[in-house]
Chain A
């Protein structure tokens, strides 16, 4: 999952408030200026001054005297209006119908059924909720003005703030109900479609249903498929929900008769060979991101096999990401971005494995963690570490052969004069974006190095007590295959602290849609104070599109254009000047470039007027099975609140300065 750098709420709030305050200040100043200009045309310059002053003077008591009771009365009206027009019921019915028919096309016969189901329900919910609430809110106030029902409201002691806030609250409440209903149906839909059981193919549901072969057989005598290294039997489950699983009995070496593995529920046989204990376990091989628990009752061929419910779906992993990621280049020198592998996405940086002629590379990706304490991992002896790396191959060779990588753990002393703990390198193979789930033993073999790099001692050390004594830990990633590259970003290697309750994480995913919905409602209500319904809809749709593509639009500003900004480009077009040739230096060029820079900056500022919907979209967390960080939720709610306040101000001044009657 691509996870852009994200500040915590405390890091975000001050610049956020400064940006919000700046936008509001500029908007108020521009509003006053344009208000004065328009009033000057109508009443003359002196009278205009008093008119503008009157509006400003009335605004302050209007805000302070806004009555929550009247806001709630307006909200109740908005709710009744939408309910009795049955828009919400129709939207919900359409959603249910979409799920019913969509089910035909969303079988679990796919690589990642959980992702497909969650993507579909989240997208359907988002689309229907946003469109429905946009329609409801865009038509409400203009209809009131058109049908003149607003006459009987504004002639009561109702302030414009109450009219706007009432609608935002009312439609927000209704949208929340719709979202809740859709969320519940979606949760049931996904759960129902992913939960399933299998039987073993064969007449008896016993070990006798499996095919035996010699250990070391590479390909199945029955199906011709590649077998696991130590497999001794194979079989298959029946097809349920569009897929089946392969079953294999695999031989494991146990540490002794007391090894917990020996007494596991999936044990088919335990035997001694050459004074060593071996265990045959029945494994259900994963398919589409899940597997099943297997229970074997009895001994020998008559032992009964029971395939349990699916395991692997409905995860909400709580990752502990690195605080920072630093690269070393091929010579072991610090580098900002990692190696350049061509025109690739800049999200991941790359490290190389050296070259056949130059030897092994010193290129490393160093992940720095903080807060690594045993209590965050429930004092487990084996700490889960998950990796998902990019792979860039410069030659294919055997494409099925994975790229070799290695990781080492290092302590990060607070003082440079302290000794460092460095673990031995653990090697593993990986394919592009393949999720590697590794258990890191708390006891790690390694060495203590003096500050000058000399060896102090070797031995077995504790991950928490020695390596991460101060809570800090470094993981160093190396690519071990020559001429191959590994790509990684900060979120690609993380410790898994545990799992969050799934339904709660699912609910948090809907908070993102709720935030988007509230902004759409506030936008539609604010726009409808001065625009007709169709124009409101058009405006909101444009803002939505801009909102979903905000990162792209903002990236346009940061791109270095070869031919300069708009003025410079125009000059180049007129003078037929090649865009690679620098303009003549002089005051004119300086003026052009500065003007372009100014325009560029102002255009960039304008992008902040549109909400960044990507920032409010948490669907990917659910799709990829990660817990949604509370910091993100808090920031999303704060952004939503800021937009609602800004849009309420816009709506207030628009309603205050317009004539309600014609």
Chain B
């Protein structure tokens, strides 16, 4: 309770300081980029590649924002620019109203890199303890937070094993835990589901949604379209460094000229009647059929059932 109060006070203090120094600062805008450009150069200063070109972006508090695009489209570069790992060639990147190269902004940020770049010689507990220390967390709070996060990501059984013994999925989980060690307001996730099995992917997606429910802002980049569609509120599509599309997922994916009707336990007579009504009103290519589940849902159902009834096997002649 005391910690929460202190955190709130710190946030208030920070916001008010920024408001004082920057009258344009809107606390609802977490990330803002203006004309953000990144050009990679060789040793002699010659241009090698334009990784990001004049990106203008605003990400608001409490949303899940997805950066989408094929490999080399500039997603990771954008994240790195926002974190201050790269310096912009031109334009600017602001996080919480501060320049992205400012160290102080990191107190409110959690970052899960593309691969979990963690110290393999540390155990899970030591890893989280180390990152906790970097936030100057008091020992008691740090210990509680470490245990809570280890439990949250399901690594209690392996918390004293060195990370070099971890599978890729386990490493991603501990990576996520380190990103959340400071209870951040903004979480940046670079390919969060990469290397995870369907179960881990689902858990990661559930975790992202949970973070949003806690009022946190999440920015993720991925080239796995399904994952982005499942969790993101808004997306930006990048291609060869240019912003090609930006908007809400539901409105971007909405097919305006088609209508979908869903109902449970509808008799055949009613189906025929519906088709008649559609024809009567001039609707073309009308179909009435049972919807299909996704392969992900089927897989997860099987895994859940197997956990409930171990030993049950499928016959091979289906």
Contacts and interface: CB of A to CB of B under 8 A. Distances in A.
Interface of A: 41-43, 58, 62, 67, 69-70, 72-73, 76-77, 80-81, 84-85, 147-159, 659-661
Contacts of B89: 42
A148 B113 contact: yes
Contacts of B90: 43
B85 A157 contact: no
Contact of A158 (B87, B103, B126): B103
Interface in B125-179: 126, 130-131, 133-136, 162, 175, 178
B133 A149 contact: no
Contact of A147 (B84, B87, B117): B117
Contacts of A43: 90
Contact of A157 (B106, B111, B118, B126): B106
A151 B45 contact: no
Interface string B47-89: 0000000000000000000000000000000001001111101
Contacts of B130: 73, 76-77
Contacts of A151: 83, 85, 111, 113, 117
Nearest to B179: A152
A149 B117 contact: yes
B122 interface: yes
A462 to B, nearest CB: 66
B45 A149 contact: no
Given A41-B45, A158-B103, A148 B115 contact: yes
A153 B115 CA distance: 14
B93 interface: no
B85 A152 contact: no
B118 A149 contact: yes
B119 interface: yes
B183 to A, nearest CB: 13
Nearest to B108: A157
A30 to B, nearest CB: 21
Nearest to B111: A155
A254 to B, nearest CB: 73
Contacts of B103: 62, 157-159
B134 A660 contact: no
Nearest to A51: B87
A80 B122 contact: yes
Contacts of B221: none
Contacts of B162: 84
Which 8 A/B pairs are nearest by Cβ-Cβ distance? Answer: A73-B133, A661-B85, A156-B134, A84-B121, A148-B117, A155-B111, A157-B106, A661-B80
Contact of B85 (A81, A159, A660): A660
Interface of B: 45, 80, 83-87, 89-90, 101-104, 106-107, 109, 111, 113, 115, 117-119, 121-122, 126, 130-131, 133-136, 162, 175, 178, 182
A430 B136 CA distance: 68
B133 A70 contact: yes
Given A62-B103, A152-B118, A73 B87 contact: no
A155 B106 contact: yes
Contacts of B80: 661
Contacts of B135: 156-157
B85 A659 contact: yes
Contact of A70 (B121, B136, B182): B136
Given A42-B45, A147-B117, A155 B83 contact: yes
B133 A661 contact: no
A59 to B, nearest CB: 12
Contacts of A152: 111, 113, 117-118, 131, 175, 178
A157 B104 contact: yes
B49 to A, nearest CB: 12
Nearest to A83: B121
A147 B118 CA distance: 9
Nearest to B83: A155
Contacts of B115: 148
A77 B85 contact: no
Contacts of B85: 151, 154-155, 659-661
Nearest to A74: B134
A260 B206 CA distance: 95
A616 B37 CA distance: 51
A359 B10 CA distance: 92
A328 B168 CA distance: 83
22 contacts: A42-B45, A42-B89, A43-B90, A70-B134, A70-B136, A73-B134, A76-B130, A76-B133, A77-B122, A77-B130, A84-B121, A149-B119, A151-B83, A152-B113, A153-B134, A155-B109, A156-B106, A156-B135, A157-B103, A157-B104, A159-B103, A659-B87
